[in-house]
Amino acid sequence: MSSLGVYIELKEGKVKKTNLELLTLVHQNGQSATAIMFADDAGGYVEELGAYGVEQIIQITGLEGPNSYPEVRSGQLAEIIKEQGLSDFIGTHSAHGKDLLPRVAARLGAPLATDCIGVDFEQGVATKPMYAGKVIAQVKLTGRHRLYTMRPNTITPEKAAAGTTPKIKTVAATAGTPLSQIKEIVKGVAGRIDLTEAQIIVSGGRGMKDKENFKLLEEMADCLGAAVGASRAVGQTGKTVNPVLYIACGISGAIQHFAGMKTSKVIVAINKDPEAPIFKKADFGIVGDLFKVLPVLTEELKKVMKGD
């Protein structure tokens, strides 16, 4: 049986939902995990991580907070993976995970499968979309250590059948030299959800005409607790998203856009052109002028969300 490490990302002191997805994947594989996190006091996470079947928490102290310096963190993680003899190590395919795990893999000389939608840890086989989603590949990883990043929103978090009370092991970070310096962190729009992790996305294309008109999308997004996206921002060269619901407004459905949102569970399209390609891909379509449709739809959604 493989020995498994899961990288736990914290956001504002909370375990990210995407990490619970990773822990679910692990216990669904019939295995238990060592959770590895940069925290000075992981005591507050024991109950939550234990509910997802974590056996052990390794807290690396001295490197908590936003000044994460992946070049320093990667060295610490590589040492722990070696020292613990972890055969498999998985993190989220988030901005941070994409920065961190390739560095860890390089330090270990280990293979890394990125943007996975499934992993069989026993076989070391990762399932992942390739060539902008045109094929779904099964990639076999070999070697002493195997690393993976998992696409967010692929798995619904589920607690383990039997909860645990994980023990905490503390490892003090050894000094590393950051090669970069974070000068300033500029927060995104307050309260807005990260696109790649959002469950619902309301997205606008050139049909929105003007950035001012994105207010219409923001109003709907606020009502649904959604993130706001756009063509170009999502796609082959943009971000890959994987929400439960993707509402495309004034987006034609170009192949390059589709590549980044095709795994959305439900796609709704609003477009005035009944021949727009997006309708061939959408589960539900509204043919109409979005400037007329959106205000009405938002008002109706508000009523539904309020339970009127």
Residues contacting 49, CB < 8 A, separation 6+ = 8, 15, 23, 35, 57, 166
Number of other residues whose CB lies within 10 A of the CB of residue 251:
29
269 within 8 A of 201, measured Cβ to Cβ? no
Give the one residue of 231, 240, 242, 264 binding ligand FAD; rule: CB under 6 A. Answer: 231
Give the one residue of 44, 172, 237, 266 binding ligand FAD; rule: CB under 6 A. Answer: 237
DSSP string, 143-175: SS-EEEEE-TTSS-----SS----EEEEEEPPP
Name the residue nearer to ligand FAD (CB basis): 46 or 254.
254
221 within 8 A of 246, measured Cβ to Cβ? no
The one-letter amino acid at 211: K
| Apex 229 CA angle, 276 and 292, nearest 5 | 55
Per CB under 6 A, which of residues 182..221 are in contact with ligand FAD? Answer: 205-207
Q: Is 129 among the residues that bind ligand FAD (CB under 6 A)?
A: no
> Least distance from C-beta 112 to ligand FAD, angstroms?
23
Q: Is 256 among the residues that bind ligand FAD (CB under 6 A)?
A: yes
Nearest Cα residue to 246 out of 274, 205, 307: 205
Give the one residue of 53, 124, 129, 235 binding ligand FAD; rule: CB under 6 A. Answer: 235
Count, residues near ligand FAD per rule CB under 6 A: 25
> Least distance from C-beta 232 to ligand FAD, angstroms?
5
Give the one residue of 91, 97, 166, 238 binding ligand FAD; rule: CB under 6 A. Answer: 238
Residues engaged in binding ligand FAD (CB under 6 A): 205-207, 231-232, 234-238, 250-252, 254, 256-257, 260, 270-273, 276, 289-291
